[in-house]
Amino acid sequence: MDPNLTQLLHQTLFGAIAAAGFGVLFNVSFRLLPWCAASGAIALAVRTAFMELGWNLGGASFAAALAVGIAVQLLRGRTGLPLDVLNAVGCIPMVPGVFAEKAILALYALTTNNASDDAQELIVAMQYALRVIFTTGAIGTGLAIPTLLLRARQ
């Protein structure tokens, strides 16, 4: 099997599982969890596909959030869930938690008394923090665009 296809299927499956898990945390009824899983699967499948094409994390996350926002708008009224819930549970698995952890740990390293290279630690912390900020902003923007365009048309 093609390694890119395997990676895509892996991300799609675990995106669906993660989104369904967040649906449980948000007290979504059991019969609506498949919709949550579908939104997570779309998000990570699109993001993975665009990253395979060479896009960076922020751009791929924007495209994935835009795809989820459009899909949720198209399903409006069929699921019985508020649109914001489907948007959120689908995109939460895309939040770059590893980068946030590395930023926090690098900032924490600055507080130790024996930090040998404070400037380098600060640069590393800011690089990871900026990745988190820009990726999260891209996700929020991607989710907002379909909603704003739909409101403008009504």
Q: What is the pLDDT along the chain (154 residues), one digit of tens a residue?
A: 788 889 999 999 999 999 999 999 999 889 889 999 999 999 999 999 999 999 999 999 999 999 999 998 888 777 777 888 889 999 999 999 999 999 999 888 888 766 577 788 889 899 999 999 999 999 999 999 998 887 655 5
Tokens coding 34 = 């498949």
pLDDT of residue 133: 96
pLDDT of residue 102: 93
State the total domains in the chain. 1
- Cβ atoms of residues 141 and 65 within 8 Å: yes
pLDDT of residue 95: 92
pLDDT of residue 49: 95
* Residue range of the domain that includes 95: 3-153
CA distance 125 to 119: 10
Number of H helices, E strands in the chain: 6, 0
